[in-house]
């Protein structure tokens, strides 16, 4: 890790704005029987307290309950001043009220949003965030009960209050590497108006930026600073850029790195990389997805210890604190939007497509400057073998390419060679479970299925003319119940999972046609409360190499040995 780049500040950061993190205990009320649009919050009596951030239904009093989780606190905003509320994630959907008046609503569990707070002559203001964890496709089509991970509710991520200075403000700052060799990069600044800009990189004032263009509320200019260091997994150098108009300022952190594909490989700053890692859900039995910072850090330490350089954030955008740490530790990330096994009926529904597009834009804007993110994906295991899905898939591919042209685009497919849209993406990602979900249930040695199946896909992709695209196994794994040891190495034993993952990991590191793997999965996660759990003992997805408390199963050591033994840059 590169000490010079580490920081306790999270980004973007607005040094001129007075701000408060609204973390801490809020008043709380849970209501099971009342509708999301029926409640009059002005008469509500709060009878409990709940921390922010939190998943309220991870707490014993509300475990497994579905309804409204209403959080309230009082905030101080100087009279007559403009302010902005930034909400990291409020799940599954929410309404925001200040002094009893609705100021915003949001329908996406894991993406951030902002609400301007109306100016008032009163300085003490009542802030209420009403979350709802009830499935309601009409309101919130992005998340449904058939998804194989538990849908929690609450304010999962931090809430920030920013007091805004009068005058022109910065909305968003983006930095893109144009050429890593001479450290040339482009800066785009969304601003509420044209002003003179001062630009600082790593604390030194820059005078060499020229040709500033201001068009449609966006400043654009390029900088070339050969003295800057590049970002890579081995040396994750990070830099800060501050823009200042004398009134407002914004600091972002970025890395100089370029990613592209060439001859079936993923290239990072001109070197081929093999991605070795896991799919990771944000979850813990005690906290749900609102993980304490300590746990986020511990997860990354565990991944690093297993020799991983890659994480797939399944199946929704991950916590920005996690992404900040991935930047600092040098992890490579596949970020994906919320999606799981959606069908043609979804893709034919314009409201669904619109909700997908909206969350995609929110995801991209939130994580744009993280060098760790090298690819973006969407619609995990959607019905990508049907012609009727084409319009939705194409619309999301184009949207990502237009909003984030410097990253790779993909989606995790479980349709194998029947998938219709592989030609349109940069990296082929297949979720496959040979040797676990077997075709022949009488087969006594299902582990023997694994390698031939992977070879089959590689050969078929080549026949289809897709060998030029990097191939990643975006999911593969086997369930193991923690502590269940078995001398005949039967399914659900730690032994079976261990043997399974040894075969997979060896194959991935040895076969140059495979650009990477995201093993399914990092740790066990809570899933269905319905009879769907009949294939999920304990109602957990047990394919973690750690259990839900991060206790290691047998396979951890084997994965570690194989991943750590592999050094992709050894002979270069
Ligand atoms: C799918 C899905 C995962 C998980 C996995 C499994 O591939 O993408 O979320 O459900 O299957 O364990 O079967």
410, 432, 541: which to mutate for ligand 1, most atoms within 8 A of CB?
Answer: 541
Question: Could you tell me the pLDDT band of residue 207, with boundaries at 50, 70 and 90?
Answer: confident
Question: Could you tell me the pLDDT band of residue 9, with boundaries at 50, 70 and 90?
Answer: low
For residue 441, give the 3-state DSSP assignment.
coil
Asked if pLDDT for residue 5 goes beyond 80, the answer is no
pLDDT for 571: 38
Asked if pLDDT for residue 396 goes beyond 70, the answer is yes
pLDDT digit string (tens) for 480-513?
A: 999 999 999 999 999 999 999 999 999 999 999 9
pLDDT for 2: 45
pLDDT for 4: 43
- CA dist 97 and 100 (Å) reads 6
Other CB atoms within 10 A of residue 140 CB: 22
For residue 31, give the 3-state DSSP assignment.
strand
Asked if pLDDT for residue 190 goes beyond 50, the answer is yes
- Report CA(247)–ligand 1 centroid distance (Å): 49
What average pLDDT does this structure show over 5-17?
78
| DSSP secondary structure letter of residue 223 | E
What average pLDDT does this structure show over 363-381?
98
Q: Which residues of 476-487 are buried (b: 16+ CB within 10 A; e: fewer)?
A: bbbbbbbebeee
Question: Could you tell me the pLDDT band of residue 7, with boundaries at 50, 70 and 90?
Answer: low
pLDDT for 381: 98
What average pLDDT does this structure show over 82-107?
98
Ligand 1, atom 10: closest residue by C-alpha: 148
337, 414, 431, 539: which to mutate for ligand 1, most atoms within 8 A of CB?
Answer: 431
Other CB atoms within 10 A of residue 369 CB: 21
- CA dist 80 and 163 (Å) reads 11
Specify whether the CB–CB gap between 559 and 505 falls below 8 A: yes
Is 4 exposed, middle or buried, given 0-12, 13-18 or 19+ CB atoms closer than 10 A?
A: exposed
Write down the pTM of the prediction. Answer: 0.96
pLDDT for 569: 44
Task: Show the tokens assigned to 282.
Answer: 């944000």
- CA dist 366 and 375 (Å) reads 14
- Report CA(380)–ligand 1 centroid distance (Å): 9
pLDDT for 570: 41
pLDDT digit string (tens) for 332-356?
A: 999 999 999 999 999 999 999 999 9
Other CB atoms within 10 A of residue 522 CB: 26
148, 341, 479: which to mutate for ligand 1, most atoms within 8 A of CB?
Answer: 148
Question: Could you tell me the pLDDT band of residue 529, with boundaries at 50, 70 and 90?
Answer: confident
- Report CA(148)–ligand 1 centroid distance (Å): 7
Within a 13 Å sphere around the CA of 50, how many CA atoms are in the beta-carbon half? 32
- Report CA(502)–ligand 1 centroid distance (Å): 20
- Closest ligand 1 atom to residue 527 Cα is 10
CA dihedral 555, 557, 559, 564 (to 10 degrees): 180
> Percent of the chain, pLDDT > 70?
97
CA proximity to 344, closest of 307, 306, 382: 382
Asked if pLDDT for residue 111 goes beyond 50, the answer is yes
pLDDT for 572: 32
- CA dist 569 and 267 (Å) reads 12
Other CB atoms within 10 A of residue 407 CB: 20
What average pLDDT does this structure show over 417-440?
96
Which ranges in 157-215 belong to alpha helices (H)? none
Ligand 1 pocket (Cβ < 6 Å) reads 148, 380-381, 414, 431, 475, 520, 541, 543
Largest CA distance in the chain: 75
pLDDT digit string (tens) for 547-564?
A: 999 999 999 999 999 999
Asked if pLDDT for residue 175 goes beyond 70, the answer is yes
Specify whether the CB–CB gap between 484 and 493 falls below 8 A: yes
Asked if pLDDT for residue 79 goes beyond 50, the answer is yes
- Closest ligand 1 atom to residue 477 Cα is 12
Task: Tell me what the pLDDT averaged over the chain comes to.
Answer: 95
- Closest ligand 1 atom to residue 431 Cα is 7
Question: Could you tell me the pLDDT band of residue 211, with boundaries at 50, 70 and 90?
Answer: confident
pLDDT digit string (tens) for 283-304?
A: 999 999 999 999 999 999 999 9
What average pLDDT does this structure show over 181-191?
96
pLDDT for 243: 95
Is 6 exposed, middle or buried, given 0-12, 13-18 or 19+ CB atoms closer than 10 A?
A: middle
Specify whether the CB–CB gap between 192 and 218 falls below 8 A: no
Q: How far apart are the first and last CA of the chain?
A: 22
Lowest mean pLDDT among 11-25, 350-364, 401-415: 11-25
Higher pLDDT, 205 or 27: 27
- Report CA(324)–ligand 1 centroid distance (Å): 27
pLDDT for 8: 60
pLDDT for 212: 86
Q: 275 — phi, psi (to 5°)?
A: -90, 120
Ligand 1, atom 4: closest residue by C-alpha: 148
pLDDT for 568: 47
Ligand 1, atom 3: closest residue by C-alpha: 148
- Say whether the peptide bond before residue 144 is cis (omega within 30 degrees of 0): no
């Amino acid at each position: 890790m590169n000490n010079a780049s580490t920081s306790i500040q999270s980004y973007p950061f607005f040094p001129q704005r007075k701000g408060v993190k609204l973390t801490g205990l809020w008043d709380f009320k849970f209501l099971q029987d009342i509708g999301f649009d029926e409640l009059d919050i002005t008469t509500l009596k709060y009878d409990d307290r709940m921390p922010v951030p939190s998943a309220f239904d991870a707490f014993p009093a509300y475990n497994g309950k579905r309804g409204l989780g209403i959080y309230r606190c009082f905030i101080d905003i100087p009279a007559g001043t403009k302010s902005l509320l930034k909400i990291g994630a409020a799940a599954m959907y929410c309404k925001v009220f200040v002094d009893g008046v609705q100021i915003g609503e949001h329908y996406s569990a894991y993406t951030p949003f902002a609400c301007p707070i109306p100016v008032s002559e009163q300085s003490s203001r009542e802030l209420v965030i009403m979350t709802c964890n009830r499935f309601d496709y009409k309101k919130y089509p992005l998340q449904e009960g058939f998804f194989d991970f538990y849908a929690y509710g609450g304010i999962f991520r931090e809430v920030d209050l920013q007091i805004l200075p009068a005058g022109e403000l910065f909305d968003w700052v983006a930095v893109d590497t144009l050429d890593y060799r001479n450290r040339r990069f482009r800066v785009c600044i969304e601003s509420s108006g044209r002003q003179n800009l001062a630009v600082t990189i790593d604390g030194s004032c820059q005078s060499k930026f020229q040709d500033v263009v201001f068009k449609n509320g966006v400043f654009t200019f390029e900088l070339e600073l050969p003295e800057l260091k590049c970002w890579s997994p081995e040396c994750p150098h990070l830099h800060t850029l501050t823009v200042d108009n004398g009134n407002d300022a914004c600091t972002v952190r970025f890395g100089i790195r370029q990613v592209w594909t060439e001859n079936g490989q993923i290239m990072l700053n001109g070197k081929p990389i093999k991605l070795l890692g896991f799919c990771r859900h944000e979850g813990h039995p005690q906290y749900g997805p609102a993980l304490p910072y300590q746990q986020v850090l511990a997860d990354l330490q565990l991944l690093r210890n297993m020799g991983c350089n890659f994480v797939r954030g399944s199946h929704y955008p991950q916590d920005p604190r996690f992404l900040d740490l991935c930047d600092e530790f040098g992890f490579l990330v596949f970020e994906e939007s919320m999606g799981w096994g959606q069908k043609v009926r979804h893709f034919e529904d314009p409201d669904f497509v619109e909700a997908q597009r909206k969350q995609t834009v929110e995801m991209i804007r939130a994580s744009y400057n993280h060098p760790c993110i090298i690819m973006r994906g969407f619609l995990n295991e959607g019905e990508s073998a049907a012609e009727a899905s084409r319009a939705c898939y194409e619309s999301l591919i184009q949207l990502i390419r237009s909003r984030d042209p410097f990253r790779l685009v993909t989606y995790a497919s479980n349709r194998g060679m029947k998938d219709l849209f592989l030609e349109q993406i940069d990296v082929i990602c297949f979720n496959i479970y040979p040797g676990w979900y077997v075709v022949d249930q009488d087969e006594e040695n299902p582990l023997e299925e694994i390698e031939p199946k992977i070879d089959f896909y590689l050969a078929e992709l080549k026949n289809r003319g897709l060998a030029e695209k990097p191939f990643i196994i975006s999911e593969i794994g086997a369930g193991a119940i923690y502590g269940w040891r078995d001398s005949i190495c039967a399914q659900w034993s730690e032994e079976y999972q261990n043997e399974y993952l040894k075969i997979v990991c060896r194959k991935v590191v040895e076969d140059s046609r495979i650009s990477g793997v995201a093993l399914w999965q990092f740790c066990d996660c809570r899933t269905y409360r319905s009879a769907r759990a009949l294939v999920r003992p304990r109602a957990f997805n047990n394919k973690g190499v750690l259990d839900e408390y991060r206790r290691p199963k047998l396979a951890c050591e084997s994965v570690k040995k194989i991943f750590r033994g592999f050094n992709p840059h050894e002979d270069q």
